[in-house]
Structure 1
Amino acid sequence: MKIKKKFLFFLFAGALCFGQKTEFPVSAISADLLENSTAVLRKEKIEIEIESRKSVVVKTYRVVTVLNEQGLSKINASEYDNVRSVAATILDANGVEIKKIKRKDFKEVAVSEGSVITDNKNVFLDYTPTQYPFTIIYESEVQSENTAFIPPWIPLNEKNMGVEETAIVIKSSPDLGFKSKSYNFEGWDVKQEYLQDGVAFSLSNVTAIKDEAFSAAPFKYLPHAMFGVDKFNLEGVEGDATSWENFSTWAFRNLLSGTTELSDETRTKVKALVADEKDPIKRARKIYKYMQDKTRYVSIQLGIGGWRPMKAKDVDRLGYGDCKGLTNYMRSLLEAADVPSHYAIVYGDEDKMDMQQDFVSMQGNHIILAIPNGNDYIWLECTNQKMPFGFLGDFTDDRLALLVKPSGGALVRTDIYSDNAQNSKGSYVLQADGSIKGDIEIRSGGVQYSGRHHLISDSFDEKNKFYKAYFDIHNLKMDRMDVAEDQDRAEVSENLKLNAERYAEVRDNRLFFQINAFNKFSDVPQRYKIRKNPFEISRPFADLDEITVSIPDGYNVEAKPANVTIKEKYGSYRLEIESISPNQIRYRRMFTMQVGYYPNNEYEGFRKFLEQVAKADSSKMVLIKT
């Protein structure tokens, strides 16, 4: 009888569900799109209309099925600018509506990520689901007076997200000089329609993009498109994007004009600081240090002030600024000392991204300074109070930047760091009980300097934690951790003393140990049954090690690793081990990687190269007691 009642209940409940309108049930998603997905984009349509030089309207309709908690961040339910309307509907796994969310239920906050001064607002949905999976239908309409920035189309912007259907339609007033540029459409089934004053793109049924080791930056291989107009508006200021030279001139006149004034006191102080220096680069070096000691970085986003730097005299008075304000302040200080320099717009990110030469528009997210030096430039990062003069690091290296000048502005490539060397020289003594005591000096330059620069200011505990992870030796104790830097050479030097018990295994009158104690490579990337993404080595490096090993009295070498030489297009490796006295062994090691961009079908060869390196680095020596 109980069974019958339960059956009737579910039959009745099912009838209720059947009577309700259902949309986007999870059961309708193909198995291919569910694989490796934490969410699935069911349907997306973005309509952009550039109505005039001072008005662009963006309408968004987006349906996302969230499969688990990891997919929650992929609903992308947030807006900036003037929000005309915004709403959402939540569906259960069967596609039955369970909640409606109105405009008043969305949160609105100032954009304060890393900022202390802002007037930007962010309207976003903060939804806590009661069950997974669920589906959200999100709809919005926003309007902006800023036509300098037309949203790009990035259909595969999220990793681990299958895509059923995504589309964009963009139309523009015919007198604005609408333009579009597509990237990486080859090999993807992107449907394209070029309208009289706009474009329409769509893409459907794309399986989830996995996050694979050494994957190239997404913009290098995934489809996307940029849009813009030649005649734009930025916070009430009309601009010209017909060429990079014209854009540079516009930026100089409208963003930089009237921002370099300094107080008489500061100008006098700067001139006195460099009075004994005739060389403009030496003057610039002194002024850079003065600027670093005087200022700190904050983010400022106030109207066009989000793009126009603070006035130099305000930065001077307050002692802070953002990348625009600090760079312009440095430019103003140099101007007071008769040293020319140029404000430069660039993309700042560890992934190297160029300003697009063939698509003139408001690009970039960071500002640096360029000082002419013969036929080249010295580049300055003005937001880091500890950065050496003329060193950029991996945030803005090797990419095109726009020099903002009153005339003749152009795209120029920033410094390329090819000598990213780490040189290690030292020794260790192996005792009969298996313990070791060692000394090592490590010198790092180029981008490797960037990776170890933090050690200069790290606390004792932070350094201790770093070295225990770096050396990966059980029972390691650091007896000395002296770290210094040579800012003129952009080099970090580390003088270390360490010891560890039971480094070698003691067994059968023998000592078994890895001869490479100080710089073992072990990060062999994952093997994939089917590798999908291309891979990239974005920066070269070279590790050079020379270590002398003293073995205990009464022991002879019974077995030692063979010398190894590996040469591949991805890099090279060499290991040489030699006896230099009855109780001393020296090993020399060189490991290099070369810049390159490679298709997915070469990944396994690259992985095997690194596997060979790791195997050689972990090879063991055997000593026998005589």
Structure 2
Amino acid sequence: MKTFLLPALLFFISTLCVGQKLGYSTLTIPDSLKQNANAVLRLSQINIDVTSQKSMTIKSLRVMTVFNELGIRNLDLAESYDKNKRIVKIEATLYDAFGKHLKSYKKGDFTDTSVADGFSVFNDNRALYLNFTPITYPFTMVFETEVVTSNTAFIRPWSPVDDYLVSTEKSLITVSYKAELKLKTKEANFSDAYRLEKKETATSISYSAKNLFAKKREELSPGFKNTFPFVYFALENFELENVTGNAANWSDFGKWYYSSLLADTEEIPEETKLKIKQLVGDEKNPLEIAKIVYKFVQEKTRYVSIQVGIGGWKPMLAKDVDKLGYGDCKALTNYTRCLLKTVGVPSYYTVVYADSDETKDLQSDFASVDGNHIILALPSDNNLIWLECTSQIMPFGFQGNFTDDRNVLLVKPDGGEIVKTKTFTEKDNLQATKGNYTITPDGDLLGKIQIVSKGLRYDKEFGKERLSRENQIKNYKEEFSNINNLNITKITYNNNQAAIEFTEHVELEAEGYAQNSGGKLMFAVNAFDQSYYVPKKYRTRESPFEIDRGYTNEEEIEVTIPEGYIIEAKPNAFEQETEFGFYKIEFNLINPSKILCKRKLIIKKGIYDKSKYESYRKFREIIAKTDNSKVVITKS
């Protein structure tokens, strides 16, 4: 009997394995890598071969097991191309949970599409992508590509961590290059928490990692690139859209940038020169002259992006911008610079990584072709004033949260220089609210408020004046969501661009704001500036936390209770100061029928150790609770 069963069992196993790739079976994934994971990166293998200054081949093999629909976003089944980047190979293979082959996808199965960036009227970037919808989970996808490009200015950074909630079984990258091209590397966020291996020769370098567990993103965590290990690569001698370049350091890079991309773009038509000089007149102050030129550019031009070839990096000719009346960030910034130059005011074309949600720095110690936006730097009294030249509505000298507080590159004829844009402090980012409201015997609220916003608060609020009335009202109902049955009766705005202050005057009413209980009325005194935010509680916090921008809120609201009522109970004043900020609220009796609510909240920017997270959470919890403090009034 045993003699018969053994061959039969072996035959069954061999039959089961036909058409299967056991290495891709989910059964072979360690349980430790499945924990907290929407997907597991089984293998990421990248080989970059820089055969010359004008040629680079990139081969990529990516094996991803996806457990659920949240892991789909990590498949990344696409490859970009353009006139200088050719896709040699692109294919994908699908396996089921047991490693059984289900389907193969060749180049013809991929969809060819333009890579629209949302603002360019035309660009020459395209991509092939696989429009894939899974039928069941889990599954494994093998995605393999090979591309050849003449652009050697960009070598993708490498991280062994693909994303939050994604484990890594194995990840490696190898870069091979000619020694005379001088490859530079920078390692960031390396620590004992990640077991990384590095191998290096005179003409190659490789990094690898194995068995990295999935991490959950914790609230207020610093940005992904500031949290996980990254390796950055760049060649000192490179090619960018058929223009050879050198980036040994930022000074050399800036000199190359100016001579290769800017120097031959500066011609301004004589007619425009004359017009600018007439507008400037007898004005001698460089700052006032710059204001005149900035206003001229805002009124004459509009922002339109055209990204083709070197045009993705080299600005349009200034004379073409003058003729056409439009351009992208490069063109409009360069045009403004050239106009200023004609009237003797120096300014600097400035490369920046722009993003309002996450501050991204150019790396001061690692020169490379980087950044995604251009602004203008205007020297003034040993300081720099920043001009956003793409906006027709932005005040002179105000940059907002799109480019604040980050390293940027000044491009000068004699070399580049890394400097930092303006950091708005908690004092700069001020919002001050003053006003009054009356509670009627029926518990209704009738009020008027004035809100003045400065600094980055201005940036957030001044766009309200261009909204429809319907959307303005919608915004206030969201801002004052604590007030039920809110009705906005009047809105007026004052946008003081010279002072960079935005003032809102709002008249409003709300039926039943005060709750009636047995003839007594109860309501939150602080009606217009309540904070609800309380960070999530963690049993064990793993990462530090970041408050990316500080701010100050000040409020004075006078509250009048109905005639014939007295204050039966009112909240006590409260004050607390911590390293994260300051909070104070008072409820002062002006007379028996009036209460003055004074409130001040300061939140400080900073990166704090994880051990302090619970203290910050409790600070915000106290603020949210105290802001909702209620007064009780009753008939006398």
Q: How would you bin the TM-score normalised by the shorter chain?
A: over 0.9
Asked if 2 retains the 8 angstrom alpha-carbon contact of 1:221 and 1:534, the reply is no
Structure 1 SS opposite 2:340: helix
The alpha-carbon deviation at position 108 of structure 1 amounts to 1.8
1:256 and 1:111 map into 2 onto residues whose CA distance is 26
Specify the alignment match of 2:505 in structure 1: 495
Can you list the C-alpha shifts for 1:126-176, whole angstroms capped at 9, x where unaligned? 212222222110011111111111111133242222222211111211111
Counterpart in the other structure of 1:168: 173
Structure 1 residue 13, shift from structure 2 partner: 11
Q: 1:195 to 1:602 in 2, by over 3 A?
A: farther
- Match of residue 398, structure 2, among 391, 394, 398: 391
Following the alignment from structure 1 to structure 2, what is the Cα–Cα distance between the partners of residues 204 and 332?
A: 53
1:19 maps to a residue whose letter is V
Structure 1 residues 453-462 or 158-167, which shifts more? 158-167
Measure how far apart 1:623 and its partner are: 1.1
Matched residue type, 2:36: N
Cα distance between partner residues in 1 of 2:149 and 2:159: 20
What's the offset of the Cα at 1:254? 0.3
The counterpart of 1:83, out of the listed 74, 84, 87, is 87
Question: Given the alignment, which residue of 466, 470, 478 partners 2:475?
Answer: 466
- 2:207 alignment partner, SS class: strand
- Pairing of 1:182-197 with structure 2 (within 5 A): 182-186=187-191, 187-197=193-203
Please give the residue correspondences for 1:282-431 in structure 2 after superposition, counting only pairs within 5 Å.
282-350=288-356, 351-418=358-425, 419-431=428-440
Q: What amino acid is aligned across from residue 216 of structure 1 in structure 2?
A: P
Is the deviation greater in 277-286 or in 611-620?
Answer: 277-286
Alignment of 1:56-455 (within 5 A): 56-80=56-80, 81-114=85-118, 115-186=120-191, 187-350=193-356, 351-418=358-425, 419-455=428-464
Other structure's SS at 1:285 match: helix
Report the Cα offset of residue 221 of structure 1.
1.9
Give SS of 1:175's match. Answer: helix
Displacement of 1:31 in angstroms is: 3.4
- What amino acid is the match of 1:379? W
Q: Secondary structure at the match of 1:247?
A: helix
| Aligned amino acid, residue 113 of structure 1 | D
Cα separation, partners in 2 of 1:193 and 1:14, compared to 1, 3 Å: closer
The 2-side partners of 1:299 and 1:14 are apart by 60
For residue 591 of structure 1, what is the aligned residue in structure 2? 601
Contact 1:17–1:96 (CA under 8 A) maintained in structure 2: no
CA shift at 1:353, angstroms?
Answer: 2.0
**Using the alignment, how far apart are the partners of 1:120 and 1:321 within structure 2?**
19
- Contact 1:535–1:598, Cα closer than 8 Å, also in 2: yes
Question: Helix, strand or coil: the match of 2:265?
Answer: coil
SS state at 2:416 partner: coil
State the AA in 2 paired with 1:204.
Answer: K
The offset of 1:365, in angstroms, is 1.3
Deviation, structure 1 residue 397:
0.7
Gaps of 5+ in 1: 1-11
SS in 1 for 2:516: strand
Cα offset, 1:504, TM superposition: 0.7
Q: Is the 8 A contact 1:480 1:498 kept in 2?
A: yes
Distance in 1 between residues matched to 2:74 and 2:13, nearest whole Å: 31
Q: Output one character per residue of 1:168-199: Cα deviation in whole Å (capped at 9) or x when no partner.
A: 11121111111111000113222222332332
Q: Whole-Å Cα distance in 2 between the matches of residues 588 and 14 of structure 1?
A: 78
Conservation of the 8 A alpha-carbon contact between 1:79 and 1:123: yes
Using the TM superposition, give the Cα deviation of residue 276 of structure 1 relative to its aligned residue in structure 2, in angstroms: 4.0
Distance 1:260 1:150 in 2: 31
- Residue 3 of structure 2 is matched in structure 1 by none
State the 1:491 CA deviation.
1.5
How many angstroms apart in 2 are the aligned matches of 1:87 and 1:297?
39
Displacement of 1:308 after TM fit?
0.3
Shift of 1:573: 0.4
Shift of 1:79: 1.7
Which residue pairs with 2:6 in the alignment?
none
- The alpha carbon displacement at 1:99 in A equals 0.6
Distance change (3 Å), C-alpha of 1:35 and 1:377: same
Residue 17 of structure 1 and its aligned partner are, at CA, apart by: 4.2
SS state at 1:577 partner: strand
Aligned counterpart, 2:4 = none
2:486 aligned residue: 476
8 A Cα contact 1:515 1:619, kept in partner: yes
Return the alpha-carbon distance in structure 2 between the equivalents of residues 359 and 18 of structure 1.
Answer: 50
AA matched with 1:583: S
Letter in 1 for 2:138: P
Deviation string, structure 1 residues 177-227 (Cα, Å, up to 9, x no partner)? 111110001132222223323321122222223233212111222110100
**Contact kept in structure 2, 1:87 and 1:139, CA below 8 Å:** yes
Q: CA deviation at 1:520?
A: 0.3
**Bigger shift: residues 293-302 or 455-464:** 293-302
Aligned to 1:4: none
Moved more, 32-41 or 454-463: 32-41
Q: Tell me how far apart the structure 2 counterparts of residues 182 and 303 of structure 1 sit (CA, whole Å).
A: 30
Deviation of residue 94 (structure 1)? 1.5
TM-superposition CA deviations, 1:11-39 (whole Å, max 9, x none) = x9998644332241223333333333322
Q: Which runs of 5+ in 2 are unaligned?
A: 1-10
**Residue identity matched to 2:627:** D
> What amino acid maps onto 1:390 in structure 2?
G
Report the equivalent of 1:520: 530
Post-superposition shift, 1:70? 2.3
Which whole-Å CA distance do the structure 1 matches of 2:566 and 2:204 have between them?
79
Q: State the Cα distance separating 1:498 from its structure 2 match.
A: 0.4
Q: Distance in 2 between matches of 1:436 and 1:577?
A: 18
Correspondence for 1:554? 564
The 1:595/1:293 distance shift into structure 2, 3 A limit, reads same
User: 1:50 — aligned with what?
Assistant: 50
Give the drift of 1:319.
2.1
Task: In structure 2, give the amino acid aligned to 1:250.
Answer: W
Tell me the distance in 1 between the aligned counterparts of 2:75 and 2:416: 41
CA distance in 1, matches of 2:319, 2:13: 71
Percent identity over paired residues: 42
The CA distance in 2 between the partners of 1:493 and 1:44, in whole Å, is 53
For 1:9, the equivalent position in structure 2 comes to: none
Q: Distance between the aligned counterparts of 1:13 and 1:415, measured in 2?
A: 70
Deviation at 1:596, TM superposition (A): 1.1
1:337 CA displacement: 2.4
Q: Give, in angstroms, the shift of residue 494 of structure 1.
A: 0.4
Q: How many residues align?
A: 615
CA contact (8 A) 2:430 2:455 kept: yes
Kindly provide the CA deviation profile for residues 560-608 of structure 1, in whole angstroms up to 9, marking residues without a partner as x: 1111111111111001111011110001100111111023232222111
Q: 1:13 to 1:555 in 2, by over 3 A?
A: farther
Distance 1:496 1:156 in 2: 49
**Separation in 2 of the partners of 1:465 and 1:17?**
61
Q: What SS class does the counterpart of residue 410 from structure 1 fall into?
A: strand
- Per-residue CA deviations over 1:506-543 (Å, capped at 9, x if unaligned) read 11221111111001000212212333332101111000
Match of residue 574 from structure 1: 584
